Amino acid sequence: MSEIKKIGVFTSGGDAPGMNAAIRAVVRCAVHNNVKVAGIRRGYEGMIDGEIQDLTARSVANIIQRGGTMLKSARSKRFRTAEGRQLAFDQLKKHNIDALVAIGGNGTFTGANIFLQEHQIPTIGLPGTIDNDLFGTDFTIGYDTALNTAVEAIDKIRDTAHAHDRIFFIEVMGRDAGYIALNSGLAGGAESILIPEIDDDFEHMIDKLEGALNRGKLFSIIVVAEGDKAGGAFKIAEKVNEQFDNIETRVTILGHIQRGGNPSCNDRVLASRLGVAAVNELLAGRKNEMIGLVNNQLAFTSFNDAIKGSQSINKELVDLIDILS
């Protein structure tokens, strides 16, 4: 018999579409197993301040289709200190919470890993980030929705680029990872992508632009990850203008529009599967692991490996953009 009588669930770091679906799955699976569940608002910061309330199956009604997170999210400098973590632990004990489900990314799991080592609170992590950059899962909660948002925007901008014979630089999120840029660029028919994982992408883009202009093609779509080494979209457009005096450029920053909106079907299903698995595995004795999906099967990765590991860009997709453009 599991000694876990009450589970706390929280979201931390940047919000991602599908987090609400994951919260719903955790709550309803806990209720199904006759285990109490509490929602912790504002991540680790709310944990320290005791912003904790019991949840029932009705508490999570009508949220599966909503973006954002009903539990809010926040950064917490206090949780980075031993004193802050002690305050958080005291609040968990005060509310009789025996285990945690943490929904977030690397920062969330780093905090959970330290917290578990210090206070032995069993914790399971769910990968919730639009960047799709966590080791141990093929897809993260929120990535599919963000990707589709980016593709829809690129499609609309392409119409204007074609009408006015302009080169558009579209900046998408991805400070350290280029998954959104790579896949939205491929799906949106971009002529080039610039991502953090490729060192010479700017020079390669210049060569392709020159070739296109020589063929008489005057409009192009260039998708830029915000963390690309050549700089953001504005800086890259400025560099291009310095090299070509016969083109007209425009820049569009998609920004936080990629975080919001109703989660896609894929994100709702992924979040639901992982949320249920998190509760079941906690009750089975697992802890200190992230649950992801690899080859459409549940996969378990220790927090240490999830934090230290990295996803590698699929070079085949990079080559496809060159071939198809």
Please give the structure tokens belonging to residue 301: 């990765």
Rounded distance, CA 201 to CA 89, Å?
Answer: 47
pLDDT in tens, 59-102: 999 999 999 999 999 889 999 999 999 999 999 999 999 999 99
How far is 192 from 169, CA to CA, in rounded Å? 10
pTM to 2 decimal places: 0.93
Q: Give the list of residues 6+ apart from residue 310 with CB closer than 8 angstroms, or none.
A: 133, 135
Q: For residue range 101-112, what is the model confidence (pLDDT) as tens digits?
A: 999 999 999 999
147 burial via Cβ count (<10 Å: 0-12, 13-18, 19+): buried
Taking only the tens place, the pLDDT of each residue in 188-233 is 999 999 998 888 888 888 988 888 888 877 788 999 999 888 888 9
Q: Which of 15, 90, 98, 131 is catalytic?
A: 131
- For domain 6-142+263-308, say whether CATH 3.40.50.450 is its number: yes
- CATH fold of 146-259 reads Rossmann fold (3.40.50)
In sequence order, the β-bridge partners of residue 102 are 10, 125
Q: Could you tell me the residue ranges of all domains in the chain?
A: 6-142+263-308, 146-259
Taking residues 265-286, what's their average pLDDT? 97
- The pLDDT value given to residue 2: 65
Query: 2-13 pLDDT, tens per residue?
Result: 689 999 999 998
The pLDDT-based confidence of 113 (bands split at 50, 70, 90) is very high
Please, what is the end-to-end C-alpha distance for the chain in angstroms?
59
300: enclosing H helix or E strand: strand 297-302
Helix (H) or strand (E) holding 11: strand 6-11
Percent of the chain with pLDDT over 90: 73
| pLDDT tens digits along 114-159 | 999 999 999 999 999 999 989 999 999 999 999 999 999 999 999 9
Helix, strand, or coil here: 289? Answer: strand
- Whether 146-259 and 6-142+263-308 are alike in CATH topology: the answer is yes
The answer to whether 131 is a known catalytic residue is: yes
Q: Identify which has the larger pLDDT, 262 or 247.
A: 262
Q: Which residue has the tokens 């080559």?
A: 319
